[in-house]
Every structure is written in C-alpha cells, then in structure tokens.
Structure 1
Amino acid sequence: MPSFGERLAYLRNQRGLSQAELARLLDMGQSTIAMYEKNKRSPDHQSLIRLADFFGVSTDYLLGRSDQPHLGEREKGPLLDEKLRAVAVDPLFVDLLRQVSGLTGEERKALAEYWELALQYVRRRKGRCQERN
C-alpha cells in the first residue's frame, strides 16, 4: 500500500504542480512538502485536512487507510468543484484569490460587481474577434 508521501506526490504530480507551487498555494514551506513526500515528517491535523480538501480526497486515503480517494456523496465536506479548483491553482489568480480572503463583505460585493463587468468586456471582445475570423 502506498505511503502518505507517495500518495501526496502522486496527487501533486497529477495536478502538474511542483512542490514549491503546492507549498505556495497552501501557504506552507516547500521543504515541508518535500519532507512529507519523503515520509520524514507527518502533517499536523489541520495540514492534513487542508491537503485533503485541496486535492478533493479523504484524509483516510492520504493516510493509507483507504484506497478510495474520494469521499462518498453524503460524506463530502467543503470541496471545490473542478472548474473552481483549476482557477484556484492557476498562477495568474493565486495571489489575487489570496487577497480576497482579507476583504470585508462589502468589499467582496464591490469586487464581484467589477469582475462581472470585466467578464462582460472580455466576452464582448472575444465575440468581436470571432466575428473578424
């Protein structure tokens, strides 16, 4: 049965992430991820949960207690859907998304309105480019 470190490395590689990228996304040190993957260090409770949530797998899977990586529908916690997860790991958006967590509710609302306007602009521009081709 694969170890915690082997499973973590497998999941990270499936996402096409380096140890440094994963560490930055989870606000951990790259050396911490490396130690986990070499099984020279075990994550604390909170880190284990963050890793499981990030990869959308159960903690039992990460710990080798189960070979089923995904939680049953009734057991799912606050997991991100795949499209949102793809944006959350995109280097273009990582720092922006990290900054959003520090905003007030009103600031987030204003930002959401601005993003909607920006998306409308991008769609219009994309439409004009397609019309020319």
Structure 2
Amino acid sequence: MIFEYDGDDIRLIHRSEVDVALTGFDTPPEVRSGRFAEVRDAEGKGLTRVPVRVETTSAEVFPETPGEPITRVTVDRPKGAFTVIVPVPVGAHSVALLDVRRPTPPPEGLAAPSPSAKGEETVLGVFNLELGGREQ
C-alpha cells in the first residue's frame, strides 16, 4: 500500500498484492508506541499490526555544494509518501493507520504506571482493502 500525506490528510494512492515474507508484525499491540497499520475485520476488530516507518516532523535538506553535510529541518506542514506491507489474514477487511502513545516504563526500582494508564490510540484513517478507498 502506498499512501500520500499532506499535513493531516492521508490518501491511499496505490494497493497491490505482493508475495513476500513479512516479519515484525507479531509484537503485541499493547507493548509499544509508534505509528502502525492495523489490519481489521469487517466489525473493526484488529487482527494484526505492522509498524509504519515515516518521518513527518522533519525533512532532509541536501547541500548546494558537493561534500557539505545533509541536514534536517523541522517542517510546519509535513508532506510526502510512504509504503507499508501488511499481512492479509482470512477475514481482513480494512487497514487503519494508527498513532499510538503508550506510557513510558519507569526506571528499574520505581513503581509501574497504574493499569488504567493504557495510553492513547489516534486513528489517522481507515482504508477498505477490497475497494482501496477510504472508509472514514
């Protein structure tokens, strides 16, 4: 799946099936923060997740003079594209792009966060697998 983003607007621009071994999607979803593509069934229940690696807060700036270093600058309105490969298990219906924020574990010897401190999951968009379109 190839997505384009411009600020908070995310669009699915291409979807194709590939035959590739996929690893790294078996981490329990409650374990870490980050951005994820979550494959969901028709009722919206998450079936599996894969990490989405995309930098949206800064951009690389290439020097005009060869040999000078490439630098990073903060951007006000991120714009770009990213690719994600997701497994499609039986019953898969849609893919939700999520921004997940989990509480940081305390240093060793300090009390753990309360069980109610589960963190936040923000849905950035839901895209239908069969039609390739946006659901919401």
TM-score (norm 2): 0.19
TM-score (norm 1): 0.19
User: Greater strand percent: which structure?
Assistant: 2
- Which structure has more relative contact order (CA 8 Å, sep 6+)? It is 2
